[in-house]
């Protein structure tokens, strides 16, 4: 169950990563907001994906 939650979080982080520039294009968020947001989503992706990808490799 934990693994599924981590997997969902990691894919969500990628979804948000690409949604942020789209929101910027639509004028909904500022440039500085997307810079911060993309850095956070990058961190979330690498932390969470490394957990389940490593798990998948071990199995």
Residues near another protein (CB under 8 A) are 14, 17-18, 20-22, 24-25, 31, 34-36, 38-39, 41-42, 45-46, 49-50, 53-54, 57
6 or 38, CB closer to another protein?
38
- Quote the least distance from Cβ 8 to another protein, whole Å: 15
Looking at 1-59, list the stretches that DSSP marks H as alpha helix, in order from N- to C-terminal side: 2-25, 31-58
Q: How remote is the C-alpha of 35 from its chain's centroid?
A: 13
Residues 6+ apart with CB under 8 A from 3: 51, 52, 55
3 or 35, CB closer to another protein?
35
């Amino acid at each position: 169950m934990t693994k599924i939650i981590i997997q969902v979080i990691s894919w969500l982080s990628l979804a948000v990563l690409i949604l942020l520039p789209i929101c910027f294009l639509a004028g909904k968020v500022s440039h500085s907001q997307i810079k911060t947001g993309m850095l956070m989503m990058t961190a979330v992706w690498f932390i969470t994906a490394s957990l389940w990808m490593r798990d998948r490799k071990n199995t």
